[in-house]
Structure 1
Amino acid sequence: MAGSLNWGVKQSFRGYVESAGGVIETMGGAERAADGGFTFAAAPGGDLRLDADGRPVGRGLFVGNVRFEAHGGMLSVYLADPNIEIGPSGAVITVADSSARTHRMEIATLDLGAITTGLAGELVIPTALSMDGSRLLGDHYPPKTALDPVRLTLR
């Protein structure tokens, strides 16, 4: 069962927003981590777990919002309630893309073949930008651009 999700989206994107005089806000249960990334707590209803081979399977549900805004609102990105969804066709991160939470979009893929173990047993999973994720970030990064790795804690 998922305990928490730590993910910074993309360090250079965070740096750009802040250097442009913009703001990065966390709400609804998300918190800013010491490394500048974000921590999201597990939400009820997920079934993310390790299988018999020690690989993550299932769906992890997490709560919290992150809003990036710069250039007087010309750059505005909203991410809410990330999910990790692992199925037969691969593993992805989806988010609600507005405060109404009426639409979810796949923003990143996870490379389950490159998982490592971090401090305190967390799973460190490389991520890459998806097509929709590229659009969400204003088409500044092409699909498959490396993002910050996911740091996943399972209980």
Structure 2
Amino acid sequence: MSDEFVGSETLLQMDPTVVAGLTWGLKRSFLGYLARTPMSQVSLGSGAGVTTQSEFWFPLADASQFDVQRGDGVLKFSGNVRFIGHGGFLHVLLDRPWIEVTADSALLSFTECRTEDPTDQRMGVASLTWPTPQDDQGDWIWPEVPTALASAGVELFNDVYPVGEALEPIRLRIPQ
């Protein structure tokens, strides 16, 4: 996996609201904390990008298991964002996000890569309040999906934020 340091050279040159993918600002206070922490790093890999508003963008990988009419299924995205601070004691990897929607819940998960042998085991990081999509120029969009920290996400952020803590909303665009 090759990573690039997030800087002006990795800013998205396109508007993420018109390209298929997931855009997420994560948690502003967490990003602010990292910005104030000496020698912290944020890196992107596998096609992920960052917007001019410091939101992370993950390209759409597969929407074939999602049924927009029923409002359920799985949306898969590619790319990763890695946050490192305190000489590596703080290490958060958000890799290959999925959104899994059922009749009862919606969850944003990431591949759990904590060992040298990563699997497709998923970690549910945020619960979503799933709205009805809007039709926008032949694409389905979700302009603002509220998110809250799920129980597995608490561990990911070293127990700093409690279950249910509001996170930044996500934005989605998928082709019809």
Structure number with greater CO (CA < 8 Å, separation at least 6) is 1
User: Match for residue 138 of structure 1?
Assistant: 158
Q: Is the 8 A contact 1:94 1:107 kept in 2?
A: yes
Cα RMSD (Å): 2.3
Q: Which runs of 5+ in 2 are unaligned?
A: 1-18
The aligned length equals 149
Matching residue of 1:92: 107
Question: Matched residues, percent identical?
Answer: 33
Deviation per residue, 1:113-133 (Å, 9 max, x gap): 5x686x987311000000100
- Distance in 1 between the 2:69 and 2:123 partners? 26
Given the alignment of the two structures, is residue 71 of structure 1 paired with residue 86 of structure 2, yes or no? yes
Verify: 1:153 aligned to 2:168, yes or no: no
- What amino acid does structure 2 have at the position aligned with 1:122? I
In 2: Cα distance, 1:125 partner to 1:51 partner: 17
1:4 maps onto 2:4 in alignment? no
> Which residue of 1 is the match for residue 32 of structure 2?
15
Q: Which consecutive residues of structure 1, in runs of 5 or more, have no partner in the other structure?
A: none
Per the normalisation by structure 1, the TM-score is 0.86
Structure 1 residue runs of 4 or more that deviate by more than 4 Å after TM superposition? none
Contact 1:126 1:149 in 2 (8 A): yes
TM-score by length of 2: 0.76
2:49 to 31, 36, 41: 31
1:108 to 115, 126, 147: 126
